Amino acid sequence: MRTPAVIVFGLLLSPACLQAAENICDQSETRSTPSPDGKWVANVQEEVCATSGGAAAGITVVLVPDQDASRGKRVFIMPVPRSREDWPRIRWHDSHALEIRVPNLTEAAPPEPLHEGIRISLAYCGDNPEDRERLANYKTAVKQWQKDVSAWAARRKQDEAAAGPRPTRPEEPRLATGRCTD
């Protein structure tokens, strides 16, 4: 079930959460990709932070100047996928253009578009906007189905015969993940 990941993703994007828990975070091992000129490094890592409500986790991309790690800046975050194979891939087009590549069905917010002269873009591996839309529609339909089942259960408690049939769960679409292979 992906709902917790979406909730956690939302918590990490919350400005209050970021300010309140920024200093109480743990990071996993980092995948580092230096810029062509060696002046910057893009680090991809899992970050787990304490929040007022518990903990939040996400996969982040942090840009760090080669000579001053204290100036590192988180420029992208996404929910933690099921596999490390689905973590973002970094591609430097040149020293001032960074592309963050994610699998097609990743629920990623856009990255910060510009950081200290570096243009940052998001690309989907196996890019298929229609599949992303089908997945979003399915998730919306599941939320509505959950509400419908709750209402049906309440009606059933009052009068089992009048409740009617249980609402049918939406069928999950079969979609290719568009996993990044490069």
- Residue 141 inside a domain? The answer is no
Residue 135 lies in a domain: no
pLDDT at 4 > cutoff 60: no
In a domain, 97, yes or no: yes
Confidence bin at 11 (pLDDT 50/70/90) = very low
Question: Does residue 85 sit within a domain?
Answer: yes
* Residue 26 maps to a domain: yes
At 27, is the pLDDT very low, low, confident or very high (cuts 50, 70, 90)?
confident
CA distance 5 to 81: 8
What percentage of the chain reaches a pLDDT higher than 90?
64
Count CA within 13 A, CB hemisphere, residue 19.
3
Residue 73 CB: number of other CB atoms within 10 A? 13
Q: Are 122 and 102 in contact (CB under 8 A)?
A: yes
Domain-embedded: residue 80: yes
Global pTM reads 0.77
Confidence band of 21 (pLDDT split at 50, 70, 90): very low
Burial class (CB in 10 A: 0-12, 13-18, 19+), 98: buried
Q: For residues 38 and 13, what is the distance between their CA atoms, to the nearest angstrom?
A: 29
- Residue 23 has a pLDDT of 57
Which percentage of the chain shows pLDDT scores above 70?
A: 87
Task: Find the mean pLDDT for residues 107-129.
Answer: 94
The answer on pLDDT for 42 being more than 50 is: yes
How many domains is the chain built from?
1
Report whether 121 contacts 175 (CB < 8 A): no
Domain assignment of residue 176, yes or no: no
The Cα 44–Cα 77 span in angstroms is 10
- C-alpha to C-alpha distance for 28 and 55, rounded to whole angstroms: 15
Expressed as residue numbers, the domain containing 40 is 3-125
